[in-house]
Amino acid sequence: MNTTQRKHGPVTAADDHPAHRLHASPLATAGMQARNFTSAADFAGHGIAPDFYAADSLALDIERLCDPDQPVTDEGLLNVAVKYFFAYVHDGAQDERVEYGEVAELYARFSRHHSLNEPGDDIEVMNRLRQWSPVLRVLADVSRAAHVMRAVIGQRDAPRISVGHCGPYVGADIGAGTGIMILAQQIQARRNGFLDVHSLGFQADPVSGERTHDLVHSLRAGSVMLADPTREGAYNLLRGRPLSYVANEMVAGMQQSLCADNFFNKYQAFFSAVGDNARQAAFFPEGLIAHSGQAGISLIFAKENGFQAPPEYMACEFIAQGLIIEGRVLPMHKLGAGFSRYLT
């Protein structure tokens, strides 16, 4: 355990007051807040770093994960998830060492970003947190973000150079929000022997989409295209290209029901555009179990059925109950559960 200092924000006398000592981990608090928006953290400007945390830059952490000779550890994934959140807000931070106090302060501020500013708050930072709130809610749940990355990076049916796939690696994320799934594809491809990697995400929100593209592009992980992923024409750049991997980040961070507008229509447009070029692709999630109270039925959506409901249920709304990832069925409430112990 080590005490660390800040450098990305102003230090005020109030920051070092005993009344502002950290009573709960801002990482854990912000993760809970990302799910239920009721938590708040009493934060000190100086925090005690959890054992998993290392101050190396995000770019260096990613470089290590891309090396197939280096193990993929839960601690390494958490470092990437935490620093990706930080770099999303602080432009250029991906190439800098980041001390834990800086990270913890940002998470603590995010846990109250819908409230009024406090004395000493950086107004520009608080405005960014509010502007990009929908995306940052997903990233703030670092245990889930780390779990999703682990599932993608280690997916057993992902393409590998050594088993007959000569490249290039072409990945897509039809529900890109944060860009973390595009980054995970890049790491997966590098570890599996690919040198020529092209990953493209699709995002309809111009506010967060531009920032997501800038960060993903700065990490040399791919690009994010501002296009409506429910329209077949959005996927024109993928036509005629054999796909290696297809993800939908939205599913992992889902905080709303699944319906035609935000789920079924995306897959329908995607498969109409790429056709048989997705036949050999691996998918995240491998499958999704969802329940419709309206129809009184649970269904499995997967590559085999094009992630589509039968026609008679297409107008229904579904609640995601579980993901098929890492070769097993995982209830939604257990996504990220194994990582939470590192955050307190």
In a domain, 342, yes or no: no
Residue 72 domain-assigned?
yes
**Terminus-to-terminus CA distance in the chain, angstroms?**
12
Does one domain contain both 225 and 186? yes
Give the whole-angstrom CA distance, residue 287 versus residue 326. Answer: 11
Do 244 and 197 sit in the same domain of this protein?
A: yes
d(CA 301, CA 292): 13
pLDDT bracket for residue 343 (50, 70, 90) = confident
For residue 15, is pLDDT > 90? no
Identify whether residues 209 and 88 lie together within a single domain.
Answer: no
What percent of the chain has pLDDT above 70? 85
Co-location of 93 and 206 in the same domain = no
Whether 18 shows a pLDDT value over 50: the answer reads: no
For the chain, counts of helices (H) and of strands (E): 11, 11
Contact 44, 21 (CB under 8 A): yes
The DSSP bridge pattern shows strands 282-284 and 169-173 to be unpaired
Tell me if 344 is assigned to some domain: no
pLDDT digits 0-9 by tens, 91-132: 999 999 999 999 999 999 999 999 999 999 999 999 999 999
- Banded pLDDT at 32 (limits 50, 70, 90): low
Q: Read off the pLDDT of residues 171-205 as tens digits, 9 standing for 90 and up.
A: 999 999 999 999 999 999 999 999 999 999 999 99
- Between CA 157 and CA 150 the distance in angstroms is 14
Name every residue whose Cβ is closer than 8 Å to that of residue 35 and which is 6 or more positions away in sequence: 141, 255
Distances (CA, A) of 111 to 16, 55, 287: 20, 22, 32
Identify the domain boundary among 145, 180, 211: 145
The answer on 103 and 52 residing in a single domain is: yes
Is residue 130 one of the residues assigned to a domain? yes
pLDDT tens by residue, 280-338: 999 999 999 999 999 999 999 999 999 999 999 999 999 999 999 998 999 999 999 99
The answer to which of 160-169, 239-248, 279-288 has the lowest mean pLDDT is: 160-169
Alpha-carbon separation of residue 48 from 4, 80, 101, 103 (angstroms)? 7, 19, 8, 11
Same domain, 163 and 125: no
pLDDT band at 40 (very low <50, low <70, confident <90, very high): very low
> What is the C-alpha to C-alpha distance for residues 164 and 339, in angstroms, rounded to an integer?
34
Do 33 and 125 belong together in one domain? yes
Residues 165 and 86 in one domain: no
Is residue 174 in some structural domain? yes
The last residue of one of the domains, among 117, 145, 173, is 145
Q: For residue 261, give the CATH number of its domain.
A: 3.40.50
Residue 311 located in a structural domain: no
Q: Provide Rg for the chain, Cα atoms.
A: 20
- Predicted TM-score (pTM) of this structure: 0.86
* CB distance 298 to 254 below 8 Å: no
- The per-residue pLDDT for 4 is 38
As a whole number, mean pLDDT of residues 44-71 equals 89
Q: Are 247 and 209 in contact (CB under 8 A)?
A: no
Q: Does residue 333 belong to any structural domain of this protein?
A: no
Give the span between the Cα atoms of 226 and 132, in whole angstroms.
16
- Count of structural domains, the chain: 2
Is 137 in the same domain as 179? no
Whole-number pLDDT of residue 274: 97
* Burial profile 305-326: b = 16 or more Cβ within 10 angstroms, e = fewer: eebbbeeebeebbbebebbbbb
Pair 172, 212 in one domain = yes
Round to whole Å and give the CA distance between 311 and 295. Answer: 13
Task: Specify whether 122 is located in the same domain as 31.
Answer: yes
More confident residue, 126 or 36: 126
* 225 and 257 together in one domain: yes
Judge whether 327 lies within some domain: no
What's the mean pLDDT when you consider all of the chain? 88
pLDDT value at position 1?
38
pLDDT band at residue 19, thresholds of 50, 70 and 90?
very low
Structural domain including 270 reads: 157-276
Domain end among 276, 303, 325: 276
